[in-house]
Amino acid sequence: MNVGNVFFAVCSVAALVGAICTVLAKNPIRGAMGLLLTIVGIAGLFLKLNAQFLAAIQLIVYAGAVVVLFVFVIMLLGPDAGHAEQKTEPTGRVLRGFSGVLMALIAIVSLVLVLQSTATDKPQRFGHVGPLHGSVEAVGQQLFTKAVVPFELTTALLIVAVVGAIAVARSRHQTRKPKQSPSPTRRFFHGPLHPRDAGRPLTGEEL
Amino acid sequence: MNILGNVVEHYVLLSAIIFTIGSIGFLVRRNVLVQLMSIELMLNAVNLALVAFNRRYVGDMNGQAFSFFIIAVAAAEVAVGLSIVLSFYRLKQSVFSDDADQLRL
């Protein structure tokens, strides 16, 4: 066991524990923390795979923006976001459990099949890579030469997502009725109505 | 020399496990926030597989460029999804997808 093996083991265990926490958490804020643990673990695996640029992007975008957005929305919803899931009708619960078990069965069976079919092959170690593999220069060159059209489309996607998010999340009760003075006399006289109010500032809506 | 973490199979195995956890969470949980987090888990698992295969078959940076796009799309998806969650909560005072049963405003 050298440092790389230990690093891989620690990062993969962190990612797995975070994923299980995310799914099992009763409180969504704990789920968000599990998601954060998974993201940090996967960023460490990116570092192990010589993808330094993607590790940085992963930490900035996911840990810095996505998880913060989740936590922000959970805080905004308050305690309603953390209520225990209410009991639904039995057919729905049975269907949910059945779909979960079916998904797990499919995954386990396919994993066993794949492991059996590749058990005879000797696993091939990663080859040597140059120092530029995964650097900002290499990924940027790929992005701006071969993948320039999707890159430009991503900018359009992001701006549409920003506008759409604002449009969807905005409250519908924004239109306020124009304010009217409470009484017609206040609309008539733009000054103190009584000599005793002569020195006081006006507090009505006309100002 | 230990091969732990130095072959592509380990990464793909881990990626498959995380993807399965995410999909089960999406199917079983009814809290919309947790469902969105499960989607994030699945996207992360796919990213891990792409980067691992790019490390195995070194030639160009196609896998990492794909991961970059997936990260961008995931960020946009989370922004829109969470705003939909807020709008839904304003409508029904609930964050459970069982309550989204009206199909109209």
What is chain A's pLDDT, residue by residue, as a tens digit (207 residues)? Answer: 788 899 999 999 999 999 999 999 988 999 999 999 999 999 999 999 999 999 999 999 999 999 999 999 999 888 777 766 666 677 778 888 888 889 888 888 888 888 787 777 777 788 888 888 888 999 999 999 999 999 999 999 999 999 999 998 887 665 555 565 566 665 665 666 666 766 666 665 544
Cα separations in angstroms, A191 against A77, A182, A184, A201, B49? 46, 15, 13, 9, 75
Domain count, chain B: 1
Please check whether residue B49 is in contact with residue B61, taking contact to mean a CB–CB distance below 8 angstroms: no
A25/A31 Cα distance (integer angstroms): 5
Tell whether B75 is covered by a domain: yes
Q: Do B79 and A161 form a contact (C-beta atoms < 8 A)?
A: yes
pLDDT at position A207, please? 47
pLDDT at B3: 80
What is the C-alpha end-to-end distance of chain B, expressed in Å?
A: 62
pLDDT at residue number B46: 96
pLDDT at A201: 64
Best to test chain A binding among B78, B94, B97, B98 (most A CBs inside 10 Å) = B78
Q: How many CB pairs under 8 A join A and B?
A: 239
B102 pLDDT above the threshold of 60: yes
DSSP-derived 3-state class of residue A175? coil
Tell me if A73 and B86 make a contact (CB, 8 A cut-off): yes
Residue B26 lies inside a defined structural domain of this protein: yes
- Residues of the domain holding B25: 8-94
Confidence tier at B94 by pLDDT (50, 70, 90): confident
pLDDT of B6 strictly over 90 = no
Compute the nearest-CA separation of A177 from chain B (Å): 22
The confidence score (pLDDT) of residue A190 equals 60
Determine, for residues B30 and A85 on separate chains, whether the beta-carbon distance falls below 8 Å.
yes
According to DSSP, the residues that pair with A125 across neighbouring strands are B7
pLDDT recorded at residue A149? 95
Closest CB from A19, A48, A165 relative to B79: A165
Name the residue in chain A with its Cα closest to that of B97.
A85
How far apart, in Å, are the Cα atoms of A51 and each of A123, A131, B64, B69, B73? 22, 11, 8, 15, 19
- What are B31's strand-pairing partners? B96
Phi, psi (deg, nearest 5) at residue A186: -65, -30
| Average of per-residue pLDDT values in chain B | 89
Q: Helix or strand or coil: residue B7?
A: strand
Query: How confident is the model at residue A134, as a pLDDT?
Result: 84
User: What is the ipTM, given to two decimal places?
Assistant: 0.92
Residue A80's CB: how many other CB atoms inside 10 A?
12
Helix/strand/coil for A125: strand
Q: How far is A176 from chain B (nearest CA, A)?
A: 19
> In chain A, where are the structural domains located?
1-80, 135-169
Do B80 and A68 contact (CB within 8 A), yes or no? Answer: no
A70 with B37: Cβ contact below 8 A:
yes
A1-80 is a CATH 1.20.120.1200 domain? yes
The dihedrals phi and psi of A69, each to the nearest 5 degrees, come to -65, -40
pLDDT score, position A94:
85
Spatial distance between the Cα atoms of B98 and B32, rounded to a whole number of angstroms: 9
Neighbours of B31 (CB within 10 A): 25
Q: What is the pLDDT of residue A172?
A: 66
- On whether residue B103 sits in a domain, the answer given is no
Contact A65 B2 (CB under 8 A): no
CA distances from A192 to A180, A182, A183, A184, A207 (A): 18, 15, 14, 14, 13
User: Are the beta carbons of B35 and B29 closer than 8 angstroms?
Assistant: yes
Q: How far apart are CA B49 and CA B8, in angstroms?
A: 9
CATH at B66 = 1.10.287.3510
B23, closest residue in chain A (CA to CA) = A103
Q: Residue B32 domain-assigned?
A: yes
- B8: Cβ contacts below 8 Å, ≥ 6 apart: A123, A124, A126, B52, B53, B55, B56
Closest to A167 (Cα-Cα) out of B87, B11, B43, B96: B87
For residue A65, the model assigns a pLDDT of: 93
What is residue A189's predicted lDDT score, i.e. its pLDDT? 59
Would B52 be classed as within a structural domain? yes
